[in-house]
């Protein structure tokens, strides 16, 4: 089975990438769908109908299948190869799996929001969704740095780096919000 490890890793990585593409795009579509709810008729109905179709396709054709396939290949690598079994004993892998668990929670919350929007329930603002979209970015950065740096990773600097990165994202969000508000005036 170890002779196929690099094939499994390649397939895992491909589906992780498409999973994140789906997560990034679905939340962006949520933003548009929420903003469409504030439009006058008939624009509102036309946009909402189109965004429902787009989010449905993004969610069920790209995001969910990618999440499932990325998980299958990850479990296959971890539990059915010698290298995967060795990695399960390493502290960095435990931290990475913690972030993956948070990613599953993020995905589940996106599914809940998707279902609400499909039923015309708008429970969040477009600004909240723009901020929510950065959650996947933070998880992605954390996981990539953990996987690449492994044991060389200093946990204290890593945590500080993720916090600083999050602060930069928040500042960028506030800056972008001011620019949007100025352009709408």
Residues making up the annotated binding site are 12, 96
3-class DSSP state of 86? helix
User: What DSSP string describes 3-68?
Assistant: GGHHHHHHHHHHHHHHHHHHHHHHHHHHHHHHHHTTSPTTHHHHHHHHHHHHHHHIIIIIIHHHHH
CA angle centred on 172, ends 170 and 174, rounded to 5°: 70
Q: Are 52 and 33 in contact (CB under 8 A)?
A: yes
Q: How far separated are the first and last CA of the chain, in Å rounded?
A: 62
Binding-site residues for heme, in ranges, read: 12, 96
Q: Which residues contact 141 (CB under 8 A, 6 or more apart)?
A: 162, 165
Per-position b or e across 49-69, b if 16+ CB within 10 A of its CB: eebbeebeebbeebbbebbeb
């Amino acid at each position: 089975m170890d002779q196929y490890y690099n094939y499994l890793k390649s397939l895992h990585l491909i589906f992780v990438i498409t999973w994140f593409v789906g997560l990034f795009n679905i939340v962006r579509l949520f933003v548009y769908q929420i903003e469409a709810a504030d439009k006058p008729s008939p624009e509102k109905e036309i946009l909402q109908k189109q965004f429902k179709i787009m989010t449905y396709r993004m969610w069920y054709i790209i995001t969910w299948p990618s999440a499932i396939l990325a998980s299958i290949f990850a479990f296959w690598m971890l539990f059915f190869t010698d290298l995967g079994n060795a990695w399960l004993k390493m502290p960095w892998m435990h931290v990475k799996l913690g972030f993956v668990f948070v990613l599953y929670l993020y995905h589940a919350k996106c599914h809940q929001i998707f279902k609400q929007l499909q039923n015309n329930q708008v429970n969040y603002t477009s600004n909240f969704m723009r901020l929510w979209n950065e959650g996947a970015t933070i998880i992605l950065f954390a996981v990539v740095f953990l996987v690449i740096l492994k044991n060389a990773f200093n946990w204290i600097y890593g945590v500080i780096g993720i916090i600083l990165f999050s602060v930069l994202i928040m500042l960028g969000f506030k800056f972008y919000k001011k620019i949007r508000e100025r352009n709408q005036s």
